[in-house]
Amino acid sequence: MSKQRGARARQRVAALAMGMLAAVSPMQQVASAQSVAAPPRDSTPGGDPLFKKRDFLMALGFAVGTVAFFPLDRRAATELQDSSTQANRFLKDAATGVELIASPGAYVIGGGLYLVGRLGHHERIADLGWHGTEAVLFAQGVTMILKGTLGRARPFVTNDTNPADFRFGAGFGNGNRSSFPSGHTSTAFAAAAAVTAETGRWWPKSTMIVGPLMYGGASLVGLSRMYHNRHWGSDVMLGAAIGTFSGQKVVQYSHKHPHNLFDRVMLRTKVVPTADGGMETRLSIPW
């Protein structure tokens, strides 16, 4: 009997995972296509606009996906909180693991790549680490403003019964009312989009491999937040939208404007030897 319950639990989670991936997949394909189309090296200001028609189509797709999930929020939450699903040890451990990879993992990995790139004088690695971290920070800023303003109650607050419990401004200082959108999901998708865009500039064909791996992992982060009863499905969809746009546009803008303030400070930093055998850090701060 326990084996049958475990099998049913895995089937429920698999069905929800396939639904989430199916909803996000078209937008992921558009995002990956943007990476392939990126110019191979930095350009000067002007030329192609930052936002194009396909960006608006992708935004429309995410908006439709978010709205479409509202009627399904309650059912999805109930399915994932079923006792047999929650009792599955593998699902519980896997959900916790992917969440840690997103946060604080995204900051640790991004910061580590940045330091390796700067200390080892590897420009591309430094770009990847800094722009990935920058995208995550931007996505988190947008997410926190929306969380606080919209004040949506998390699923466990209403025992998975009321996904329409919004209260304007109640999310500031109240973690139980900061459900919409999902911060872990926006972080994961921002990192995925930034990594896919950066690597696509180096090796355009790599996007066909890197994109599905990164976005697929980000989708699992969103599903894990639903599994832990911290977010509704529509929270995850909006988080995915914010993260994808943050990662794509931070990388695109940074390479389109290589002399922007943040890059000039963060990517022109040098560690050089001193006369007494030590090392010193030199920052380039524009006035």
Which residues are CB-contacts of 282 (< 8 A; sequence separation ≥ 6)? 269, 270, 271, 272
Q: How confident is the model at residue 113 (pLDDT cuts 50, 70, 90)?
A: very high
pLDDT number for residue 89: 76
Residue type, 89: R
* CA 88 from centroid of its chain's CA atoms: 26
Q: Indicate the domain borders of the chain.
A: 2-11+25-40+57-255
Rounded to 5°, angle at Cα 269 from 138 and 108: 45
Residue type, 62: F
Q: Is residue 44 predicted with pLDDT exceeding 50? A: no
pLDDT tens digits for range 165-182: 999 999 999 999 999 999
Mean pLDDT taken over the chain: 83
Q: Model pTM?
A: 0.83
pLDDT number for residue 264: 75
Q: How far apart are CA 37 and CA 32, in angstroms?
A: 9
Note the helical H segments in the chain. 2-36, 53-69, 73-80, 83-86, 89-102, 105-119, 123-150, 183-202, 207-227, 233-256, 261-266
Q: Average pLDDT in the 222-248 region?
A: 95
pLDDT number for residue 13: 52
CB distance 206 to 262 below 8 Å: no
Q: Is the peptide bond before 104 cis (omega within 30 degrees of 0)?
A: yes
